[in-house]
Amino acid sequence: MRVGIIGGGVAGLAAAYHLTKQGHFAEVFEQAGFLGGQASTFDVFGGRLERGYHHLFVSDTEITELIDELGLGDKLAWLESSVGFYHGGTIWDFASPMDLLRFKPLPLLSRLRVGLWTLLLQKTKSYRKFEGVTAKNWLSRRMGRKGYEVIWEPLLRGKFGEFYDKIGMTWIWNKVILRVASRKGTGQKEHLGYPMGSFGEVIDYLTADIERQGGVVHTSATVTKIVDSDGPATSLDVQLIGGTTERRDYDAIIATTPSYVFTRLSPPLPPAYQAQLDGTDYLSAVLMVLVMDRPFTDKYWLNIADPDMPFVALIEHTNLIDRELYGGTHILYISNYPVRGSELYLKSAGELMDLFLPHLQKINHDFDRSWVLEYHHHRVDGAQPIVGINYGDSIPEHRTPLQGLYLANTTQIYPEDRGTNYSVRMGRQVARMVVDDASA
């Protein structure tokens, strides 16, 4: 069968890989001039670096199996992580249970209370008991007002902004489970995975296998319309390089765009399904990548628990990955999740640098702009869906009400949060649906 796929991110490429491996024809259309979506890369001092920071958890078996299948398993390294928590002008170690016990901004009894309930969360196997309660209510009741306000609320505010008090407890449960699953050894140190050729190399190998198996992958190709010809919605109008628009016919179409993009492309949908698509809010990701001549901290991941700072996390890539891959430089990501169109979202790279510099100097008093050899600015729209209470009840089905049309995007990853591992899993699942439906 012939399948058209909108979007050349990890989910779209995983679907195309699975389909072509089974002998079907898949054609991928990516609007950007590069593949990989949020896992795409750019060149930095002789190395390849993700536009948005990426790593794998030990539980990410779907993508690790794919990496092995592509012949890149020997390049996947598992490395000990270091996590910090910036609070009250101090960077606190925050990678293990012992670190929590040493965290003096909380009274000892509060530390013990947070530790006990975190342990109970780790032991909870099903997310369903958390579906109807917000993270704010559950955490403040169990871990106490002080524990919630010092540790959890800054993280929720940083990640979800004005939506922080609407986030379902399921989201926090999943984060705790992921972190614990990645801890190894007697010291319970977290280990994270990274392909030493970058995720870009994984995307390259994946694309090459799709094409070797008979598929076609386009970049700089914009799908302008999903065509409904009084029957199955199985045609696409595509604007290719040069500006020409062509109509391509398929047996099925898989769209991997954000829901608000999908509704602009698709034929009219039944009101109930349309309401599910319209009911999900998104935040964008705004990222600055600093390439420096020296390290900023000794932490890989630094959570920022200071509401006055204009970023929520600092990820020092070269405190996990060998900096020799990037010409001996040091790589620091500065991360935030604003609403699309907000003041922070609209700032230029230079404006963001001017905004961030004095706050970076509060964290490291020695930091100076002269440390920065170059910097890069990336925006990702539709980066983070808002995961509220009873979220599972409002997820749209992959099989849309229009015959032959399927949707696979981050709003449908649940109870897990978005990530390359779950995009691989979702791409495979939807590809199987397409084949199963065609043979039914």
pLDDT at 96: 86
Q: How many domains does the chain have?
A: 1
158 part of a folded domain: no
The CATH number given to whatever domain includes residue 270 is 3.50.50.60
59 part of a folded domain: no
pLDDT at 254: 98
Higher pLDDT, 86 or 230: 86
Average pLDDT on 205-213 reads 98
pLDDT at 320: 97
Give the CA angle between residues 232, 233, 237 to the nearest 5°: 145
**Which residue matches tokens 């369903």?**
128
Res. 186: pLDDT tops 50: no
pLDDT at 408: 98
> Residues 54, 287: contact at Cβ < 8 Å?
no
179 part of a folded domain: no
pLDDT at 181: 55
| Integer Cα distance of 427 and 421 in angstroms | 10
pLDDT at 307: 87
Q: What is the pLDDT of residues 269-319, one digit of tens each?
A: 999 999 999 988 999 999 999 999 999 999 999 999 998 999 999 999 999
> Residues 15, 213: contact at Cβ < 8 Å?
no
pLDDT at 183: 58
Q: What residues are paired with 183 via a beta bridge?
A: 190
Average pLDDT on 120-140 reads 93
Q: Count of residues for the chain?
A: 440
Average pLDDT on 60-69 reads 97
How would DSSP label each residue in 25-44? EEEEE-SSSSSBGGG-EEEE
44 part of a folded domain: yes
Closest CA to 234 of 253, 216, 215, 247: 253
Res. 396: pLDDT tops 90: yes
86 part of a folded domain: no
Helices (H) and strands (E) in the chain, counts: 13, 20
What pLDDT band is residue 87 in, cutting at 50, 70 and 90?
Answer: very high
Amino acid of residue 193: G
pLDDT at 180: 65
Average pLDDT on 139-156 reads 94
Q: What is the pLDDT of residues 5-59, one digit of tens each?
A: 999 999 999 999 999 999 999 999 999 999 999 899 999 999 999 999 999 999 9
Count CB atoms within 10 A of the CB of residue 23: 10
pLDDT at 161: 85
Closest CA to 80 of 301, 330, 388, 355: 301
| Integer Cα distance of 249 and 156 in angstroms | 45
**Which residue matches tokens 């079907």?**
24
225 part of a folded domain: yes
Segment among 59-68, 118-127, 255-264, 388-397 with least mean pLDDT: 118-127
340 part of a folded domain: no
248 part of a folded domain: yes
Write out the residue range of the structural domain in which residue 276 sits: 2-53+197-280+396-439
Segment among 84-93, 98-107, 122-131 with least mean pLDDT: 122-131
| Integer Cα distance of 67 and 304 in angstroms | 32
Closest CA to 339 of 383, 391, 307: 383
pLDDT at 188: 62
> Residues 37, 202: contact at Cβ < 8 Å?
no
On whether the pTM is more than 0.85, the answer is yes
SS3 100: helix
Closest CA to 398 of 265, 285, 259, 191: 259
DSSP 101: H
